[in-house]
């Protein structure tokens, strides 16, 4: 059973710790309403957001884990501007305070989640997943296919639960919007084109040029179809495996949570996170498994040919994310990981004929 303590109100924005050191024993005791003797910062690092591992000594006989994982604004100025302009931090804080308790999938346990009036003000206190018996699978794991199959089941469970989002859930969670649509995507893809064009394939350049020239219409195409709640950034780095619960896949980093076609999460993962040869061999069977999970959850699924067409188109979402992430160098993740993601997503787009399909959908533009 998840326990959530969300008590942040807008006037308290100035009281939110902006750095790991500012999460003091006194502050933590106030927001959790339990005795706290001390807080120590064990580790810190920064990607899309700031992160810190805290050691907490509880007082008064309180029985809670001795480590908490904190998410807060990033120290890097460029990252901070991006997080503020996209409101990613507050979006994730709202997810843990509102939607996470009812989600049918494994997510990190949140002990507290708060935000203020400005996009730069947010803080989330989560379970230390490593301390809970979880690990983080890699594409090279011998059992990766078993994990991916279970992931298709979990994505189907998530998407079926929140199916028909606009009618059933939107009024209760109006802060959940469609997949992010601001000029950051165009700018970062343009930077990626300029940075990697000489090293990448012709397909990479053509996809980038088409997306930059027609970003708004591309985003509309990728949003087409019935909407559900989607993770929005479903790659292997944002997943974990619960070893104490049958190796069940779990989802972390909900900063891009949105409503959109559920297949977007599936295409995003398969094109980005597994080796091309494995994807080519298994993707149709994995799509069928996902479709079966939706049907078991009461969702009417279209003919496979329609699913396959949408999957081919939604490979673009995975490519855009990989290119934008690599474009900022090591700010989000090590560049070598970003470059591998570009290779995988470009290979997927080429295998699936995404470029020709996209051109046809756009009316065969000159660019």
Residue 166 — very low, low, confident or very high, per pLDDT cuts 50/70/90?
Answer: very high
Residues 33, 68 within the same domain: yes
Assigned domain for 2 exists: no
- pLDDT exceeds 70 at position 5: no
Give a yes or no: residue 40 inside a domain.
Answer: yes
C-beta atoms surrounding 3 within 10 Å: 11
Tell me which of 160 and 198 has the higher pLDDT: 160
Closest CA to 121 of 240, 11, 266, 280: 11
Count of domains for the chain: 2
User: Residue 189 maps to which CATH number?
Assistant: 3.90.1200.10
Q: Which domain does 357 fall in, by range?
A: 134-361
Q: Could you report the per-residue pLDDT of 268-284, keeping only the tens digit for each?
A: 999 999 999 999 999 99
| Residue 333: predicted pLDDT | 66
Mean pLDDT for the stretch of residues 175-187: 88
Residues 240 and 336 in one domain: yes
pLDDT at residue 184 is higher than 90 = no
Does some domain include residue 79? yes
Residues 113, 193, single domain; the answer is no
> Same domain, yes or no, for 52 and 188?
no
Tell which residue, 47, 238, 275, 51, has the closest CA to residue 154: 238
- Tens digits of residue pLDDT in 195-229: 998 888 889 999 999 999 999 999 999 999 999 99
What CATH number should be reported for the domain holding residue 65? Answer: 3.30.200
Same domain? For 254 and 169 the reply is yes
For the segment 156-176, the average pLDDT, to the nearest whole number, is 97
Domain boundary, last residue among 106, 132, 158: 132
Predicted local confidence at residue 9, as pLDDT: 38
In this model, does residue 159 exceed pLDDT 60? yes
Show which of 132, 157, 190 is a domain's final residue.
Answer: 132
Do the Cβ atoms of 201 and 336 come closer than 8 Å?
no
Asked whether residue 225 falls in the same domain as residue 333, the answer is yes
**Are 226 and 83 spatial neighbours (Cβ–Cβ below 8 Å)?**
no
Q: Are residues 183 and 100 in the same domain?
A: no
**What pLDDT is recorded for position 339?**
86
pLDDT at 35 over 60: yes
Say if residue 126 is in the same domain as residue 146: no
Q: Are residues 195 and 322 in the same domain?
A: yes
Average pLDDT over residues 41-57: 90
Same domain? For 90 and 142 the reply is no
Question: Which of these three, 132, 156, 191, is where a domain ends?
Answer: 132
pLDDT digits (tens, 9 = 90+) for 332-358: 667 778 789 999 999 999 999 999 999
pLDDT-derived band at 330 (thresholds 50, 70, 90) equals: low
Tell whether 167 and 57 lie within a shared domain: no
| 243 and 101 share one domain | no
Residue-wise pLDDT for 13-28, tens only, equals 457 998 999 999 999 9
């Amino acid at each position: 059973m998840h326990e959530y303590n969300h008590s942040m109100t807008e006037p308290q924005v100035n009281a939110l710790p902006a750095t790991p050191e500012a999460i003091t024993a006194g502050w933590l005791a106030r927001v959790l309403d339990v005795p706290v003797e001390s807080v120590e910062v064990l580790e810190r690092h920064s990607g899309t957001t700031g992160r810190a591992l805290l050691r907490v000594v509880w007082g008064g006989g309180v029985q809670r884990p001795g480590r908490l994982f904190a998410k807060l604004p990033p120290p890097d100025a460029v990252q901070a501007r991006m997080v503020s302009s996209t409101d990613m931090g507050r979006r994730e804080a709202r997810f843990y305070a509102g939607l996470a308790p009812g989600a049918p999938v494994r997510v990190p346990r949140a002990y507290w989640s708060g935000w203020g009036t400005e996009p730069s003000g947010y803080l989330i206190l989560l379970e230390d997943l490593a301390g809970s018996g979880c690990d983080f699978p890699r594409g090279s794991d011998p059992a990766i296919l078993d994990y991916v199959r279970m992931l298709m089941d979990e994505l189907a469970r998530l998407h079926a639960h929140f199916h028909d989002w606009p009618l059933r859930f939107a009024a209760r969670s109006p802060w959940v919007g469609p997949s992010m649509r601001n000029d950051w995507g165009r700018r970062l893809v343009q930077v990626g084109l300029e940075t990697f064009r000489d090293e990448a394939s012709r397909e990479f350049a053509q996809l980038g040029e088409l997306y930059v020239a027609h970003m708004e219409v591309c985003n509309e195409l990728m949003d087409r179809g019935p909407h559900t709640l989607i993770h929005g950034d479903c790659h292997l780095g944002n997943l974990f495996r619960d070893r104490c619960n049958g190796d069940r896949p779990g989802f972390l980093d909900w900063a891009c949570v949105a409503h959109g076609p559920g297949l977007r999460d599936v295409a995003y993962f398969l094109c980005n996170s597994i080796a091309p040869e494995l994807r080519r061999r298994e993707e149709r069977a994995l799509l069928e498994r996902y479709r079966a999970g939706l049907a078991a959850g009461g969702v009417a699924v279209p003919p496979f040919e329609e699913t396959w067409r949408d999957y081919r188109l939604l490979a673009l979402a995975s490519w855009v994310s990989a290119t934008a992430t690599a474009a900022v160098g090591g700010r989000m993740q090590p560049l070598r990981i970003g470059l591998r993601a570009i290779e995988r997503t470009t290979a997927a787009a080429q295998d699936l004929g995404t470029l020709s399909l996209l051109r046809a959908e756009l009316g065969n533009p000159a660019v």
